[in-house]
Chain A
């Protein structure tokens, strides 16, 4: 059973460009979570999605950030008009049920020049 997959592993963008981060959950998992890790810090919750629905986006900035988890395909975290402060590692996790152990992907390191 493959684990949580994230791509790309590394992404470089210039200020003002768009960043798209993809996450494929573990097989059979329909709950997906996105976290951001700034250097020297722990992970901070951003958004929780279930297939086709955003359940909790309380940790996601209101502007420039959006997330989706379509019926088919991976979950996408989209950052529009990136700024240097968006440089971070973005982790996706999935779980079989809500309030269950979350399994993390390898992360996407975003660098904004």
Chain B
């Protein structure tokens, strides 16, 4: 069974600082994808970043980057230069076949 674990229910960071959100997953699959989604108070699910498991290079999208450790089954999200608009729930997700498996989320608050 695929599981996704986010061990940090809540985190906070000062504006302009850097924060890292943790995610681990468990699977016996070799071909899969990993995602981070952001859910602001509006509850919309917004794709932040995506990583293909077969790629060794870590994905980067502007201020967002990941540290993908396939052997350790770890997929952390780093947010640099945090902005107030980054305040949201962040969900780590694993996709295998056609199903997404989501973690329980990390609530991030950016403090002015």
Query: By the criterion CB–CB under 8 Å, are A98 and B43 in contact?
Result: no
Enumerate chain A residues within 8 angstroms of B95, measured Cβ to Cβ. 99, 102
Query: By the criterion CB–CB under 8 Å, are A45 and B99 in contact?
Result: yes
CB closest residue in chain B, given A56: B98
Query: Could you say which of B13-21, B65-73, B79-87, B101-109 contacts chain A?
Result: B101-109
CB distance from A83 to the nearest CB of B (A): 22
SS of A interface (majority) = strand
Cross-chain contact of B37 among A48, A104, A106, A107 (Cβ < 8 A): A104
Complex Cα distance, B98 from A113, in Å, reads 34
Query: By the criterion CB–CB under 8 Å, are A35 and B43 in contact?
Result: no
CB distance from A5 to the nearest CB of B (A): 12
A55 beta carbon closer than 8 Å to chain B: yes
CB closest residue in chain A, given B107: A40
Query: By the criterion CB–CB under 8 Å, are A101 and B47 in contact?
Result: yes
Cross-chain contact of B104 among A31, A42, A91, A104 (Cβ < 8 A): A42
Query: By the criterion CB–CB under 8 Å, are A43 and B91 in contact?
Result: yes
Query: By the criterion CB–CB under 8 Å, are A107 and B47 in contact?
Result: no
CB closest residue in chain A, given B42: A106
Complex Cα distance, B96 from A48, in Å, reads 13
B41 beta carbon closer than 8 Å to chain A: no
Enumerate chain B residues within 8 angstroms of A63, measured Cβ to Cβ. none
Residue numbers of A with Cβ under 8 A of B are 31, 33, 35, 41-45, 48, 55-56, 59, 89, 91, 93, 98-99, 101-104, 106-107, 109
Query: What are 23 A-B contacts with C-beta separation under 8 Å?
Result: A31-B98, A33-B98, A35-B100, A41-B104, A42-B102, A42-B103, A42-B104, A43-B100, A43-B102, A44-B102, A45-B99, A55-B98, A59-B99, A89-B43, A93-B45, A101-B33, A101-B47, A102-B95, A103-B47, A106-B42, A107-B44, A107-B45, A109-B43
The 6 closest A-B pairs by CB, nearest first: A42-B102, A104-B45, A43-B102, A42-B104, A45-B99, A48-B98
Other than A44-B102, A104-B47, give 16 A-B pairs with Cβ distance below 8 A.
A33-B100, A42-B91, A42-B103, A43-B100, A48-B98, A56-B97, A89-B43, A98-B98, A99-B98, A101-B33, A101-B47, A101-B50, A102-B95, A103-B47, A104-B44, A107-B43
